[in-house]
Amino acid sequence: MSVNSFLKERATLNIIENVASFCSECYSPLTENQIVFYDMKHCCYLCFSCQESVENELKKHSKSLDENNTTYSRLFS
Ligand SMILES: [Zn+2]
């Protein structure tokens, strides 16, 4: 499956100083203990609201794929 998966975690000082100091979508600075999401597909950190919008986009996308698949199978059944 090629679905994005996000790892929910709390931003530690180690993450902020060594991995990511801001959200890779909206570039808002991450603060210690903030809830962040690690995007395992793109290997970057997203803030809460960006993770939500990315996930909604993915859901929309996979929904339209499902619809296409249904149409496709209907044509050939
Ligand atoms: Zn963000």
Higher pLDDT, 49 or 64: 49
What mean pLDDT value characterizes the chain? 88
Give the confidence band of 70 by pLDDT, cuts at 50, 70, 90.
Answer: low
The Å distance, Cα 45 to ligand 1 centre, comes to 8
Residue 13 half-sphere exposure toward CB, CA atoms < 13 A = 0
Tally Cβ neighbours within 10 Å of residue 24. 14
Report the alpha-carbon angle 7-13-16, nearest 5.
Answer: 65
Overall average pLDDT of the 49-75 stretch: 81
The Å distance, Cα 50 to ligand 1 centre, comes to 4
Predicted TM-score of the model (pTM): 0.75
Q: What is the pLDDT of residue 72?
A: 59
CA–CA distance, 77 with 73 (Å, rounded to integer): 6
Give the confidence band of 67 by pLDDT, cuts at 50, 70, 90.
Answer: confident
Tally Cβ neighbours within 10 Å of residue 51. 21
The Å distance, Cα 77 to ligand 1 centre, comes to 44
Break the chain into its structural domains and give their ranges.
Answer: 6-75
